Each structure stands twice: as C-alpha cells, then as structure tokens.
Structure 1
Amino acid sequence: MINRIGQVMLYVNDQEQAIRFWTEKVGFVVKSEQDNGQGLRWIEIAPTEASETSFVLHNKPLIAQMQPELNLGTPSILLFTEDIDREYQAFKEKGVKVGELVDMPEGRVFNFADAEDNYFAILEKK
C-alpha cells in the first residue's frame, strides 16, 4: 500500500540555475546530490531538511536522450504557506515573476515562474 509521496521529478535544462532559483529565491535546501560520473546528476531539494516530500532536479536534455518516451513536462505543483502575504512580498523583492494574489474558494493563492518559465502555485493554509 502506498502511504506517502516521496519525490517529484523536475526536469530542467540548467541544473545549476535551478538550484540557485529554488535555494536563493524560494528558500529550499539541497538535501542530497549525487553524480554517477557520466553526466547523470541527481539533486534533491525540499523546503526543509526534514521535509518528507522533495523535488529531484534532473538534466532534461540528458534524460530526453536516454529515455525519449518520457513526458518531461513540468507537473502542476501547489505549495503551501501559512503567511501568503509574506511569501508574495518576498518573491517580488527577490525578482521572481509572480502572478496576482487572488482569493479562491480554498484560500488565497498566487503563481510564480522559475528561471525556465515553469509555473507553480502557493496557497495559504493555516
């Protein structure tokens, strides 16, 4: 029986740029990094070191070459925060491309784009 989500694979064109974006602009930490010495690099990032669910940043061009049948599109991901106003302001101050802060039936939310123009959303959950 499956009991939790472990990792979400994010396929990016520039792993270094993705690491900088997620750590410097979003505030995630690098939990682990592995390299097989043949170009296959695996970088696990998460909101905190203790987070159970994490993202793994993969080299999109390399994976596309190794497994062309894979869907390498960016999944729709909704992140949670307890203080949406603080997050929204912090993202804007750090130069992150953000959408409008809007009220939805489930709470206040805004979307943002990473350096490769992949969009994600943040919802206030108290």
Structure 2
Amino acid sequence: MFNNRLKIILYAQDVKKANEFWQSLGFFQISFDEIDGSFVAELAVSETSETHLVIYDRQFVETNSSETVEPSPALIFSSDDVLKLYKKLKGENVQVGEIAQIGEEYVFNFVDLDGNYFVVSGQ
C-alpha cells in the first residue's frame, strides 16, 4: 500500500550547487551523500515534511542508467504568503516570472540553476 511519503527526483548538472540553491530558498537538507563518486542531496520544506526532493547528478545517471533520466517533473509548490515568497526569491536573484492572480490565489513560476521551471500558488 502507498503511504504519505513522497520523493520527487530532480536531475542537476551540479548537485552541490543545486543543493545550495534549494537551501537558499528555505529548504531543509535531509541528507547529502556521495555514492560511487557522485553526489545525491535530499531536501524538504521542513524537517517533518513527508515530501522530499532528491537531487541526482544528471551526467552520472545518464552514463549509468540513461533510460531513467526523464524531463523535469512539473511541480506546484504551495505558499501561505505568495507575495512574500516572491519578494524573497527576487532578493535571492532567482529568475521569477510575473505574478498573476487567478481567482483568489496568486501564481508565479521560478527557475532553478538547471533551467527547470517550478510553480508557486497560494494566498
């Protein structure tokens, strides 16, 4: 049976830099390991979050298991204060899209160091 834990794989050109990027956005580092000369980082929005991002080295995976490297997943993060988060990301020099209001929610996207787009929505 499935449970509430969910891990989402992201592939990065530089796992260390990707790890630092997500931490600069407020994510908590769960683990950072070296496996066969490659790094793997696991992060979450908090220590108790049951959803984790697991970042693998794209080149390592392409070399050792090319069939598993897929395009980036489409992720929508939720925020209780979208405008504050938007300002924080801009302050961190993260590439962000324009904020749009859809009904009562605000939505914007941002880009990580590998050019992957993510969406944030909420109040």
- Normalising by structure 1, report the TM-score: 0.90
CA contact (8 A) 1:64 1:72 kept: no
Indicate the SS of the match to 1:91.
helix
- Structure 1 residue 34 and structure 2 residue 33: aligned? yes
Q: Which runs of 5+ in 2 are unaligned?
A: none
Q: Deviations over 1:83-121 (max 9, x none)?
A: 011001111111110001101247211000011111001
Deviation at 1:29, TM superposition (A): 1.2
Aligned identity (percent) is 30
Deviation at 1:82, TM superposition (A): 0.2
- Structure 1 residue 63 and structure 2 residue 25: aligned? no
Indicate the SS of the match to 2:18.
helix
What corresponds to 1:81 in structure 2? 79
Work out the CA distance in 2 between the residues paired with 1:95 and 1:33.
24
The correspondence of residues 9-24 of structure 1 with structure 2, limited to 5 A, is 9-24=9-24
Deviation at 1:48, TM superposition (A): 0.8
- Normalising by structure 2, report the TM-score: 0.92
Q: Which runs of 5+ in 1 are unaligned?
A: none
What corresponds to 1:93 in structure 2? 91
Q: How many residues matched?
A: 123
Deviation at 1:4, TM superposition (A): 2.6
Work out the CA distance in 1 between the residues paired with 2:96 and 2:81.
16
What corresponds to 2:44 in structure 1? 46
What corresponds to 1:112 in structure 2? 110
Displaced runs of 4+ in structure 1, greater than 6 A? none
Q: Comparing both structures, which one devotes a greater share of its residues to strand?
A: 2
Work out the CA distance in 2 between the residues paired with 1:68 and 1:91.
33
